[in-house]
C-alpha cells in the first residue's frame, strides 16, 4: 500500500496568534508612530515655550537661527534615540529574548511620558529633549524586535501580512497624533498547536528544526562577524540600502514638517491641520491595503512600485513648488504629489524592509542584522530630521530633488539584486542567497567561521 504524502495545511490566523500580534504591535509600534508626528502640530506653541523659558532665564529671546537649531535638535533626538535603541537590540534579545525585551522596553515609554508631562511646570525644554531621546530608544527597540518576533511566530503564508502589521500601527499612531494635535518566542510543539489551531504541526516543526540546524552550524553571529562573512554579503548590503533608502527617501521630512510643506504649497493656515490629518488617514488606509496584498503581489513588487511612485512624486512636486507662484492651480498639484508620495511609501518602502530582515537572515544572524538595519534606519532618520529644515531654507522648491535621486537609485538596486521571498521558508530563502554569494549550499557559515576568532562569535 502506497504511503500518501501528508496534506500541507495553510497557516491561519488563530486567536492566540492574533492576540500576540495586536499586543506586540499596539504596545510598541503605535507609540513609535505617535511620537513621529506628535511634535508637528504643536510646533509653534512649543517654540514659543522655548522662547519664553529662555527669556525667563536670561531676559532675552532666542535668535531665529538658534531657535531653529534647538527645535531641530528636539525633533532629531527621537531618531537619535532610535539609533541608540537599535544598538541595544542584539544584547537585549540574546539575554532577555524577544518578549522579555519588549517588556523591558516599557521603561523607555513610561519615563519619558513623566518627563514630558512635567516639563511645562518645571519650565524646562531640556526635559522635552531628554524625553524625546528616551522615547526614541523605545522606538528603536520596538521597531526591530516586533517585526523579528512576529516574523518568527507567523506561518510562512501569513508572514508578510503579519509582518506589515507593525507598520500599520505606526501609521495609526501618526494619525492619532495628528488628530490629537487639533509570551517568549513560542518555538515548541505545544505552542505551535495553539498558534496554528491544529495538532498536526510535524511539517512546520521540521522547518523550524532545519533552521535550528543552520543556526547551530553558525552559532550566534555578532555584527562584526556578520560583516566579514561572504555567505551574508548580499543580505547585509541589501538591508543597508533598503533601510537607508526607506528614510533618506524623505518620508519623515513630510511627517516632521508636514504643515510647513503644505503652507509652502499654498494651503491656507487655517486649513493645514485638516490636510495633514487627511494625509495621515491615507497613510493608514494604504498600509491596511499592504497587509492584504503583500502575500498576493509579493515583497519585491511592492518595493519597486512604492519607490517608483515616490520618485515620480518627488520630481513632480519639485516642479510644482517651483511654479506655484506663477500658476494658480499648482498648489493643488503639490498636495496631490504629497499624498501620492505617502501612498507609494505606505505600500512598500515603509513596511517591507523590516519584514525582509526576518526573512533573509537565519536566527544565528537575525539579531545582529536587526542591529545593523536599525542603526541605518535611525541614523538616516536623524540626519533628515536635523538637516531638512536647513535644506528647505537653502534649496527651497528643489529640496525634494535629493530624495528623488535616492528613490531612483534604490529602485534600480531592488530591480537588479533583491529576490522575491513570498511563500518561501527561511531555509529556502537562505539557499537563494548562498547562490548569489557564491558559497556552499549547506551551512555556508560553518567553514567561514573556522578562521574567525571564537570571541567574535557568541556560541
Mean pLDDT over residues 215-219, rounded? Answer: 52
Q: Of 169, 172, 128, 123, which Cα lies nearest the Cα of 39?
A: 128
In the three-class reduction of DSSP (H, G, I as helix; E, B as strand; rest coil), residue 458 is classed as strand
Between the alpha carbon of residue 311 and those of residues 20, 283, 318, the distances in Å are 36, 17, 11
- Is the model's pLDDT at 380 over the cut of 80? yes
Q: How many CB atoms lie within 10 A of CB 109?
A: 19
Angle at 67 between CA 72 and CA 80, to 5 degrees: 20
**Residue position matching grid coordinates 503581489:** 297
In the three-class reduction of DSSP (H, G, I as helix; E, B as strand; rest coil), residue 138 is classed as helix
Query: 312 burial class (0-12, 13-18, 19+ CB within 10 angstroms)?
Result: middle
Q: Give pLDDT tens digits for 9-65.
A: 666 667 777 777 777 777 667 777 777 666 665 667 778 888 888 888 888 888 877
- Is the model's pLDDT at 166 over the cut of 70? yes
In the three-class reduction of DSSP (H, G, I as helix; E, B as strand; rest coil), residue 457 is classed as strand
Contact in structure between 250 and 405 (CB atoms under 8 Å): no
What is the radius of gyration, based on Cα positions, of the chain?
A: 23
- Greater model confidence, 402 or 71: 402
- Greater model confidence, 44 or 403: 403
Q: In angstroms, rounded to a whole number, what is the distance separating the alpha carbons of residues 86 and 26?
A: 19
C-alpha cell at 5: 504524502
Q: Give pLDDT tens digits for 235-248.
A: 999 999 999 999 89
Q: In angstroms, rounded to a whole number, what is the distance separating the alpha carbons of residues 161 and 295?
A: 7
In the three-class reduction of DSSP (H, G, I as helix; E, B as strand; rest coil), residue 298 is classed as coil
- Greater model confidence, 258 or 230: 230
Q: Of 218, 245, 357, 355, which Cα lies nearest the Cα of 304?
A: 245
Model confidence band, residue 183 (pLDDT cutoffs 50, 70, 90): very low
Query: 401 burial class (0-12, 13-18, 19+ CB within 10 angstroms)?
Result: middle
In the three-class reduction of DSSP (H, G, I as helix; E, B as strand; rest coil), residue 220 is classed as strand
Model confidence band, residue 184 (pLDDT cutoffs 50, 70, 90): very low
* Mean per-residue pLDDT over the chain, rounded: 78
Between the alpha carbon of residue 58 and those of residues 44, 61, 118, 130, the distances in Å are 21, 8, 22, 22
Note the Cα 288 to chain centre separation in Å. Answer: 16
Range in 109-118, 189-198, 447-456 with the lowest mean pLDDT: 447-456
Residues ≥6 apart with Cβ < 8 Å to 433: 231, 232, 234, 235, 360, 419
pLDDT value of position 15: 78
Q: In angstroms, rounded to a whole number, what is the distance separating the alpha carbons of residues 1 and 75?
A: 70
Whether the predicted model's global pTM rises above the 0.75 cut: no
Torsions phi, psi of 373, nearest 5?
-60, -45
Residues ≥6 apart with Cβ < 8 Å to 412: none
In the three-class reduction of DSSP (H, G, I as helix; E, B as strand; rest coil), residue 38 is classed as coil
Amino acid at each position: 500500500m502506497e504511503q500518501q504524502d501528508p496534506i500541507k495545511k495553510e497557516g491561519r490566523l488563530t486567536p492566540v496568534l492574533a492576540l500576540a500580534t495586536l499586543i506586540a504591535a499596539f504596545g510598541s509600534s503605535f507609540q513609535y508612530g505617535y511620537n513621529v508626528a506628535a511634535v508637528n502640530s504643536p510646533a509653534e506653541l512649543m517654540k514659543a515655550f522655548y522662547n519664553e523659558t529662555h527669556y525667563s532665564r536670561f531676559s532675552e529671546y532666542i535668535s531665529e537661527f538658534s531657535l531653529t537649531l534647538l527645535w531641530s535638535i528636539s525633533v532629531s533626538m527621537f531618531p537619535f534615540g532610535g539609533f541608540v535603541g537599535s544598538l541595544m537590540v542584539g544584547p537585549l534579545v540574546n539575554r532577555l529574548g524577544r518578549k522579555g525585551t519588549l517588556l523591558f522596553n516599557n521603561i523607555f515609554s513610561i519615563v519619558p511620558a513623566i518627563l514630558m508631562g512635567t516639563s511645562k511646570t518645571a519650565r524646562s525644554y531640556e526635559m522635552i529633549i531628554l524625553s524625546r531621546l528616551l522615547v526614541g530608544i523605545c522606538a528603536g527597540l520596538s521597531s526591530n524586535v516586533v517585526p523579528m518576533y512576529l516574523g518568527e511566530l507567523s506561518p510562512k503564508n501569513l508572514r508578510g501580512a503579519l509582518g506589515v502589521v507593525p507598520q500599520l500601527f505606526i501609521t495609526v499612531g501618526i494619525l492619532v497624533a495628528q488628530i490629537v494635535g487639533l509570551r517568549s518566542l513560542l518555538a515548541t510543539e505545544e505552542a505551535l498547536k495553539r498558534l496554528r489551531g491544529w495538532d498536526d504541526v510535524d511539517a512546520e516543526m521540521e522547518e523550524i528544526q532545519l533552521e535550528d540546524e543552520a543556526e547551530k552550524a553558525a552559532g550566534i553571529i555578532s555584527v562584526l562577524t556578520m560583516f566579514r562573512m561572504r555567505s551574508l554579503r548580499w543580505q547585509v548590503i541589501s538591508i543597508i540600502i533598503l533601510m537607508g533608502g526607506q528614510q533618506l527617501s524623505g518620508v519623515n521630512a513630510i511627517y516632521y514638517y508636514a504643515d510647513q510643506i503644505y503652507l509652502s504649497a499654498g494651503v491656507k493656515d487655517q486649513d493645514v491641520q485638516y490636510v495633514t490629518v487627511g494625509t495621515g488617514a491615507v497613510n493608514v488606509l494604504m498600509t491596511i491595503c499592504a497587509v492584504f496584498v503583500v502575500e498576493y503581489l509579493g515583497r519585491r513588487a511592492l518595493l519597486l512600485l512604492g519607490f517608483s511612485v515616490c520618485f515620480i512624486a518627488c520630481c513632480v512636486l519639485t516642479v510644482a513648488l517651483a511654479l506655484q507662484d506663477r500658476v494658480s492651480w499648482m498648489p493643488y498639484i503639490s498636495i496631490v504629489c504629497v499624498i501620492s508620495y505617502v501612498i507609494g511609501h505606505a505600500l512598500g518602502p515603509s513596511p517591507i524592509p523590516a519584514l525582509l530582515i526576518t526573512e533573509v537572515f537565519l536566527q544565528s544572524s537575525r539579531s545582529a542584522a536587526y542591529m545593523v538595519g536599525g542603526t541605518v534606519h535611525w541614523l538616516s532618520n536623524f540626519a533628515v530630521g536635523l538637516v531638512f529644515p536647513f535644506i528647505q531654507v537653502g534649496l527651497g522648491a528643489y529640496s525634494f530633488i535629493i530624495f528623488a535621486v535616492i528613490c531612483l537609485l534604490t529602485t534600480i538596486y531592488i530591480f537588479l539584486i533583491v529576490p522575491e521571498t513570498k511563500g518561501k521558508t527561511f531555509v529556502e530563502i537562505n539557499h537563494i542567497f548562498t547562490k548569489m554569494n557564491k558559497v556552499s549550499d549547506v551551512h555556508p557559515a560553518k567553514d567561514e567561521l573556522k578562521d574567525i576568532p571564537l570571541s567574535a562569535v557568541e556560541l
